[in-house]
Amino acid sequence: MFAVALINIVYGQIAIEKFKALKAGLKGNAFKKADLDNSGTLNRGELIALCEKLGVPLNRREFEIMLHTLDADANGKVSVEEFDRWYSAQLY
């Protein structure tokens, strides 16, 4: 049990550092540029492409943490409101 908790903490810390790097790379209207299908939401593919474009590739676990963090209503997509809330929040 302790080992699982420690692994989650370590993965969480790695993810936070990558999320900080991701935020630092965002400029201008990043959401609109990332919304390739103009749906008003970012799907998994668009989020992965955004991370890769910014030079912050995430492994599967880190991506799931990011999606869980961004997707407040848990519908599998990130709305502009969810994205803006994440972008304006401070990561520790």
The residue to which tokens 């992965």 are assigned: 48
Model-level pTM greater than 0.75? no
How many domains does the structure of the chain reveal? 1
Per the structure, the complete domain to which residue 36 belongs is given by 2-88
68: domain CATH number is 1.10.238.10
Q: Which amino acid is at 64?
A: E
Q: Is the pLDDT of residue 60 over 80?
A: yes
Confidence of residue 70 (pLDDT cuts 50, 70, 90): confident
Q: How many CA atoms lie within 13 A of 58 on its CB side?
A: 27
Helix (H/G/I), strand (E/B), else coil: 28: coil
